[in-house]
A and B are shown apart, each in its own frame.
Chain A
């Protein structure tokens, strides 16, 4: 079959694993100390409060223990990492203004093409800095703000100061502290009251250098009654040494607003992806996380919703693929802190070729959150005897007037499904792919069409030769 041959041609599988030569404005020395933190702050000419926050966070990072659960973090050597790489002097408004190597990188990934067709705005981050930005004029006129986080801090210092670190305090965990001390880049988004952005905003994060640490910081504020859909993608070259990506994403969903945050995580398999993502949702607001993790060596990420006012609703759709040498430790958290709040977590995972997926989740209902409802469903497929899947859910229910459900299933591909497809003349490998596609369908169909196509392609590549 043609399609099969096409897939075979792509056998190198991770096609974004190329790199271009380094030609940077600034590269910090290897490793992390107070000097590096001060240097980053000085290069960015930041206000004093941010410099202090960074230094304080650095102390917190040093004091905090590594998490004693989740994946194997013992191979991370914090002294071998470059914490700050500034690739260009300024953020470009046009792709033509970017250095050739960077421009070609984004062309290969396909960001400029996508921008023309179906995006309302784009940010491109390369190493530590946002190097490209655009936003539809009509949105700018409505007061929508879509900036790199550094630019956001310069132009809206009061707004940033009011919200920065309020959803995820630096002391939340070791990696949130690390990010708070060396953060650079990421997106700053403000959507004014009742403004609904129909096309998605996108950010694309690229690591190019070896031993790179990328620490973007994103803050999204959706004012009352507004709507925004934000999509992030990422990739990196394949190196024999490891890179670290440790982002912090804070989202504020005000009364009646709705935010959808979609991640297509496609890091090369030498990247540690340790990310803290959390949304605070006010009255009748809606937060939706759509989280795909197919790349990286180890991902530890549990997008969270804190439902703090009545009627707030949170949804987490998590999809994970773990192949050879990969561990996807992912899931979600829903915290109900107000009456009549609702949440839903749906997790689907596939492990193959010795990969490991772990669902880790928390559902917490505080006293007084009467009438709250939550449903968690986790399904896992294990495709071969070398692979593994875990489910670690915690339900903490401190209020009696609630309804909480949790279900999880781990299984292999159904023999009868395979048999049926094969009896219709479909080769086993393809039948396996079909069944897996069907398994992940409920999450994939939540994506904009272009991404669903991209994701299906990524899944096909992951699945290649895995069944039969």
Chain B
């Protein structure tokens, strides 16, 4: 299993496998997973990420990868994330789920590729890319591709780009919550599905802390 230099800041052993927290530094990372290896990668925003490429090769039979992301863009930031998962071994599985909130005039470009090669019989792959646009001038581009060369498989992807549901806001405001707090609650809720994938509570708390205390504060007015 070869990891390139910049991928990992922190490694934590989990019962199922390992979790890497990746603060999206620039650059290209490649990972190869052997038989029955399982890995969770959690992508978090950093101040300076612009162009990130991550490729995971599921080579060994039964190898599994989970790539989760809670990402933010603000100001005039432009982020480019490219994730490729190549299923080579039998019965390999991948779950990719990114959630991005865009403020200001930020721009996010996401390209994802799931490739299931001929021999990867019995494999399954799912990719989800959800973008919540808060900045009036923010822009999003998403290209989630599938290349499926085997038939005993299941692969799917879903992508959405949208803004805050006015009805949700209205509901919260009607309960006496200020607009700013309501927006914040909705944004926090937006990230929950990826946070909930992590089984370790301390890790979730740590990520939440980082997101809310540092990153989100810049963009959301205090309520």
The answer, yes or no, to whether B14 is at the interface (CB within 8 Å) is no
The answer, yes or no, to whether A383 is at the interface (CB within 8 Å) is yes
Complex alpha-carbon distance, A402 and B132, angstroms: 10
Nearest chain B residue, comparing its CB with the CB of A382:
B151
Q: How many residues of B contact A (CB 8 A)?
A: 35
Q: Among the listed A398, A401, A411, which residue makes an inter-chain contact with B139, where contact means beta carbons less than 8 Å apart?
A: A398
The answer, yes or no, to whether B75 is at the interface (CB within 8 Å) is no
The answer, yes or no, to whether A62 is at the interface (CB within 8 Å) is no
Tell me whether A407 and B157 are in contact (CB under 8 A).
Answer: yes
Summarize B's interface: helix, strand, loop or mixed.
Answer: strand
B191 to chain A minimum Cβ distance, whole angstroms, is 19
Which interface residue of A390, A397, A409 has the most chain B CB atoms within 10 A? A397
Complex alpha-carbon distance, A383 and B148, angstroms: 12
Chain A residues with CB below 8 A from B133, complex form: 397, 400, 402
Nearest chain B residue, comparing its CB with the CB of A365:
B161
Chain B residues with CB below 8 A from A393, complex form: 143-145, 159
CB-CB under 8 A for A395 and B159, given A400-B133, A400-B137: yes
The answer, yes or no, to whether A385 is at the interface (CB within 8 Å) is yes
Tell me whether A407 and B146 are in contact (CB under 8 A).
Answer: no
Q: Residues 131-153 of chain B: 1 if any A CB is under 8 Å from the residue's CB, otherwise 0?
A: 10111111111111111111111
A402 to chain B minimum Cβ distance, whole angstroms, is 7
Complex alpha-carbon distance, A398 and B146, angstroms: 24
Tell me whether A404 and B145 are in contact (CB under 8 A).
Answer: no
Which interface residue of B149, B155, B161, B163 has the most chain A CB atoms within 10 A? B161
CB-CB under 8 A for A406 and B158, given A395-B141, A395-B143, A397-B140: yes
The answer, yes or no, to whether A410 is at the interface (CB within 8 Å) is yes
Tell me whether A397 and B159 are in contact (CB under 8 A).
Answer: no
A95 to chain B minimum Cβ distance, whole angstroms, is 46
Tell me whether A391 and B157 are in contact (CB under 8 A).
Answer: yes
The answer, yes or no, to whether B193 is at the interface (CB within 8 Å) is no
CB-CB under 8 A for A389 and B146, given A397-B139, A410-B153, A412-B152: yes
The answer, yes or no, to whether B4 is at the interface (CB within 8 Å) is no
Which interface residue of A382, A395, A403, A409 has the most chain B CB atoms within 10 A? A395
Complex alpha-carbon distance, A367 and B150, angstroms: 40
The answer, yes or no, to whether A254 is at the interface (CB within 8 Å) is no
Q: How many residues of A contact B (CB 8 A)?
A: 31
Complex alpha-carbon distance, A367 and B146, angstroms: 28
Chain A residues with CB below 8 A from B217, complex form: none
Tell me whether A403 and B148 are in contact (CB under 8 A).
Answer: no
Complex alpha-carbon distance, A286 and B151, angstroms: 37
The answer, yes or no, to whether A93 is at the interface (CB within 8 Å) is no
The answer, yes or no, to whether A51 is at the interface (CB within 8 Å) is no
Q: Residues 143-184 of chain B: 1 if any A CB is under 8 Å from the residue's CB, otherwise 0?
A: 111111111111111111111000000000000000000000
The answer, yes or no, to whether B118 is at the interface (CB within 8 Å) is yes
Tell me whether A396 and B141 are in contact (CB under 8 A).
Answer: yes
Chain A residues with CB below 8 A from B138, complex form: 400
Which interface residue of B118, B134, B138, B160 has the most chain A CB atoms within 10 A? B160
Complex alpha-carbon distance, A164 and B80, angstroms: 40
A449 to chain B minimum Cβ distance, whole angstroms, is 33
Tell me whether B145 and A411 are in contact (CB under 8 A).
Answer: no
The answer, yes or no, to whether A388 is at the interface (CB within 8 Å) is yes
Chain B residues with CB below 8 A from A397, complex form: 131, 133, 139-142, 161
CB-defined A-B contacts under 8 Å, sample of 18: A387-B151, A388-B148, A390-B146, A392-B143, A392-B145, A393-B159, A395-B140, A395-B159, A396-B139, A398-B139, A400-B136, A400-B138, A402-B163, A404-B160, A406-B158, A407-B157, A411-B156, A412-B153
Identify 11 new A-B residue pairs, CB closer than 8 A, beyond the known A400-B138, A406-B144, A410-B148: A383-B151, A389-B148, A394-B141, A400-B134, A400-B135, A402-B162, A405-B159, A406-B158, A407-B159, A408-B158, A411-B154
| Nearest 6 A/B pairs, CB to CB | A382-B151, A409-B156, A391-B146, A400-B133, A404-B161, A406-B159
B interface with A by C-beta (< 8 Å): 102, 118, 121, 131, 133-163
